[in-house]
Structure 1
């Protein structure tokens, strides 16, 4: 029960609400909506529905564009494939059980299937052409982060500190790696990434871990943050962001930790900068973009770690992870605004109010536009009209 209560508490921390003893110093105030003169207005191509969406739950079910389709899902179990040209439903499958399906990790497309994880400790595979269930397996812990596909395996990082690889066609478990999970953690997990035969992921005890994909053999662990302070909250060091790889260099950030650049061959850090974040990074190849725990949007030079700019005007607006769309950095917020920022200067270039239910995830880029999904399940495809 203590672990459940702890995770519920830290879900409040993750969305920037009040924690601890009430006082004026503790009160977190959301910044007002910035006044922006938009340089462009997106054109809406179509709208559709992803059922009830994710509501106010943690689930981060970003749309996936693959196989000439847009795949969307709702937390209660509705999964759809949409035509990217007109938004019409090509197929749908309702995975709801007697209790909610509680879908939360995904969507990932690979091997002619799509894969989604759930808070019920399940990993699910659907045929991408028909939506039919290919397999459903139980894994050790909630699947809150997107899986990754590599070497005919699907690899997931669970809330119990288990990195689990299963066969992509059958769901049969191939290997498992266990890492320590502190008593108190943030609500979320790092989505693993694979490159050059290795798999890399953040852990709840403040480390970046690396393993060999084929064998599931742990290679090394690199500390990203060290517990400090007198309280359990002060000592949180979760690495919940997914690593980003540019060439032979990996970038990762932790909560109460550091933004760290790591050489993949040696596993040694090249530079470290003090930033605290539990949100995925974005990159355009030369810069790293991150949203801090105060919802500051920051750009850092990938080679040196030098801060290029910091935009603090969206403080505590509960931002999504940043996404690069049409050469802009884009974030959504809890009140349903999309904010477009110049990659070079960090200044606002456009802003749109989409839906007051807000955003859990940022846009998904398609070849001719981008797709957004709101917390209440509205799906829209838009293009930029300058």
Structure 2
């Protein structure tokens, strides 16, 4: 990753063509075939834990896939296909704020609670405060990873995995850093971009990189996966969000390749395990959880990667990334069902129902409420009894 004092100049046309192709790859699987295996009948709801639907909220437009909901305190912010950004009170589902970016967005929002950053389909980074636009900047490529707003700056990872940092108040570019120049395909889904202490951690190909947030220079690299195969499709390797961080332990998934954990204090790769999944992971102090592309749910021990359990009862459902919540692991599917599994052994605890449009993104938690966003534009809030 090379730092530059100028905006990234790689053409948007080339990057967009590649990301569209790679995005299609992530969607192509047994689920799209006429002869696809049918999901198993799960039988009666085990209802081992008591959870009820507390509220619903209508956003007024459909929600696109792969656009994460953003949690800040007791609020949840969701984007819709028409470019609207809505913030809800997770306690009640009531609308706290709403504004429009003026055109469709390419990813979810980033926010520090005061300023909210979005990226539009025309590759403009826009920052809003209290629903009013503060500034905008034209970017050199598309963005599929939510911006990070932290420390008075807005950090953006472009589709080609280049980085840029802007002053959050004025929009002045502070620095930019080029991504790898030899990547023929790029995924059209959120990557890895988060703070870890005084370091910016990003996903670059199959590696986690620690970046100096003040100037964009690379402090360390930690490989989780390497390209394999004989053609560009088979050699596609990239890290996808969400990730799981507990202290210095940061665990992530490499698309259709591995899951692994890195100690971000010294860039030591603790372990990697083969795993054919396309969405991110979550975890706690003891375990890391993820879903394979075929719907198998897996758990690994956080310290050494030993497999703890594997459950295949949700096979042939397109599952979201998981959420660790209390004693459960929560995943949702494209049929609108929310599955709460035991962290201990993966057994079913209970199932919750949204609508048949299917769930758009991984569930989140705020204000002791499980928040699930349907592709229909309805947001559901579930609470324990």
Alignment of 1:310-349 (within 5 A): 310-349=310-349
2:250 matches 1:241: no
CA RMSD of aligned residues (A): 2.6
Q: Is 2:201 aligned against 1:200?
A: yes
State how 1:238-277 maps to structure 2 within 5 Å.
Answer: 238-277=238-277
Structure 1 distance, partners of 2:360, 2:190, is: 15
Cα deviation for residue 277 of structure 1 reads: 2.9
CA distance in 2, matches of 1:83, 1:111: 13
How many aligned residue pairs are there?
371
1:288 Cα offset (Å): 0.9
- Over 3 Å counting, the alpha-carbon distance change for 1:326 and 1:234 in structure 2 is same
Shift of 1:74: 0.8
Of 22, 30, 33, which residue of structure 2 is paired with 1:10? 22
Q: Could you say if the C-alpha distance between residues 50 and 65 of structure 1 is closer, same or farther in structure 2, counting changes exceeding 3 Å? A: farther
Which residue in 2 is equivalent to 1:37?
46
**Matching residue of 1:282:** 282
Q: Is the 8 A contact 1:177 1:216 kept in 2?
A: yes
What SS does the aligned partner of 2:210 have? strand
Q: 124, 127, 136: which one pairs with 2:126?
A: 124
Q: How far did residue 63 of structure 1 move? A: 4.3
Asked whether the 8 Å contact 1:241–1:254 carries over to 2, the reply is: no
**Where does 1:1-386 land on structure 2 (aligned, <5 Å)?**
4=16, 6-17=18-29, 28-35=36-43, 36-54=45-63, 57-66=64-73, 68-96=74-102, 101-110=103-112, 112-127=114-129, 130-180=130-180, 182-203=183-204, 205-385=205-385
1:28 Cα deviation after fit: 4.5
Deviates more, 1:31-40 or 1:163-172: 31-40
Structure 1 CA distance, aligned partners of 2:376 and 2:153?
32
Contact 1:118–1:144 (Cα < 8 Å) also in 2: no
1:341 Cα deviation (Å)? 0.4
Q: 1:111 to 1:45 in 2, by over 3 A?
A: closer
Question: In structure 2, how many angstroms separate the alpha carbons of the residues matched to 1:304 and 1:219?
Answer: 25
Single out whichever of 374-383 and 257-266 deviates more from structure 2: 257-266
Cα separation, 2, equivalents of 1:297 and 1:327: 16
**C-alpha separation between the residues in 2 aligned to 1:190 and 1:222?**
16
In structure 1, the residue matched to 2:4 is none
Q: How much has 1:145 moved relative to structure 2?
A: 1.5
Residue 93 to residue 199, structure 1, CA distance change in 2 (3 Å): same
Shift of 1:116: 2.4
Please tell me whether the aligned partners of residues 241 and 277 of structure 1 are also in contact (alpha carbons under 8 angstroms).
Answer: no
- Greater shift after overlay, 184-193 or 32-41? 32-41
CA contact (8 A) 2:67 2:79 kept: no
5+ long unaligned stretches in structure 1: none
- Distance in 2 separating the partners of 1:153 and 1:356: 40
For residue 374 of structure 1, report the CA deviation from its aligned partner. Answer: 0.5
Separation in 1 of the partners of 2:136 and 2:99?
14
1:119-175 per-position Cα deviation (integer Å, ceiling 9, x unaligned): 432222222xx3222222222322212222333212121112212211122222211
Between the aligned partners of 1:29 and 1:200, the Cα distance in structure 2 is 39
How has the CA–CA distance of structure 1 residues 276 and 371 changed in structure 2, closer, same or farther, with 3 Å as cutoff? same
Contact 2:66 2:361 in 1 (8 A): no
TM-score between both structures, scaled by the size of structure 2: 0.87
CA contact (8 A) 2:262 2:270 kept: yes
Alignment partners' CA distance in 1, 2:363 and 2:282: 12
Which consecutive residues of structure 2, in runs of 5 or more, have no partner in the other structure? Answer: 1-12
- How big is each residue's C-alpha offset from its partner over 1:237-290, in whole Å with a ceiling of 9 and x where there is no partner? 121234432222222221243222222233221222112333222112221111
> For the residues of structure 1 that align with 2:327 and 2:131, how far apart are their CA atoms?
34
Q: Structure 1 residues 226 and 132, CA, compared in 2 at 3 Å: closer, same or farther?
A: same
Distance 1:173 1:295 in 2: 42
| Equivalent-residue separation in structure 2 for 1:377 and 1:121 (angstroms) | 24
**TM-score after normalising by structure 1:** 0.87
Partner-residue secondary structure (3-state), 1:226 = coil
